[in-house]
Amino acid sequence: MDLDLRQVRYAVALADELHFGRAASRLAIAQQTLSAQIRTLEKRLGVPLFTRDRRHVALTPAGEVFVRRGRRLLNDAERLVDEVAHTPAPLRIDVVTEGLPSTLLIHHLRTRTPDLPFEVVQSHGLAAAVPRLLSGDLDLAFGRPHGLGRPLGPALATMPVGLEPIGVVIPADHALAALDEVPLAVLAEHPLLVHTADESAEWRDWADRAVEAFGLTVATRVRGHGRTSALAAVQALRQPAFGLTAVHLPEGLTTRPLTDPVPLYPWHAVWNTATTHPAVNRTLELIHAYARTHHWHRPPAADWWLPRPDRDALRATD
């Protein structure tokens, strides 16, 4: 049978998002169109690629094979067109999710390299981005390379980019909002909301290590995608949660820095040395220079904390 590359692209997008609405939005098509095209593809193949109900979408074993090989097929097709048309391939960058420091880099990179097209995606975590880096479907991703549940592998290289202070997100009328800063010993008196996604095992690992290190209590664990979902959970459950402090928040929420010590979240650029896009090295140089200029790599003057694997990696680069 002849494969329709458009349907292959639809299946890959749905596998990335595991949500028909998000995948349809990413593809700029109607959700009903995506659902119909996936059903048509499954009918032509004679096997289901996805299981779905009202709450969950998951890949079947056949779907895992199809998506893995489909990524390679799409990548090869794109490279073929680029070679024939002599047009530069887009640099495919995963910024994790909206509102993170990695998203600030995209405007800078576009300004400094106006002739290079970019394709920006959000995998909601490095754990989800790693398979796409290994397959060549992504050229560059960001995240914490520890706590993934498995080694990155020899093909993937990393470059430290920043140490992000983590604060606490709370309802504006929460008791902690009366403080200018929240010592971790005080936070221990208030049970936490921990918001994680399956795609972001490294964030879950960081949060669990912080909870253990400072004797914190977890009241609720919520699984979801992105900052919007996390903030909605804080609003609904009215429990404090780890989060960035220098971000725009919806009405009714506020943030406070955490202290004694300041918990830091390390993030790195990650790329595949075996399938390197021609512009990756130049892009890494620009990212490194931008991060140094804005002091993203510099820990605070006050006492600070990193999980042991990250602290050991930081010492190794000093």
pLDDT at position 26: 75
Return the domain boundaries, the chain.
1-82, 164-265
Amino acid at 17: E
* Over residues 213-221, mean pLDDT: 95
In contact, 74 and 15? CB cutoff 8 Å: no
**pLDDT band at 62; cut points 50, 70, 90:** very high
What is the model's pTM?
A: 0.73
- Fold agreement between 1-82 and 164-265: no
Q: Which of 278, 286, 289, 284 is nearest to 91 (CA)?
A: 278
Query: What angle (nearest 5°) sits at the alpha carbon of residue 292, between those of residues 107 and 146?
Result: 90
Kindly report, residue by residue over 165-216, the tens digit of the pLDDT.
999 999 999 999 999 999 999 999 999 999 887 788 999 999 999 999 999 9
Greater confidence (158 vs 97) lies with 158
The residues pairing with 162 across neighbouring beta strands, listed in sequence order, are 267
Kindly report, residue by residue over 274-315, the tens digit of the pLDDT.
777 888 889 999 999 999 999 998 999 999 999 999 998 887
Class level of CATH domain 164-265 = alpha beta
Kindly report, residue by residue over 24-41, the tens digit of the pLDDT.
877 878 889 999 999 999
Note the CATH architecture for domain 1-82: Orthogonal Bundle (1.10)
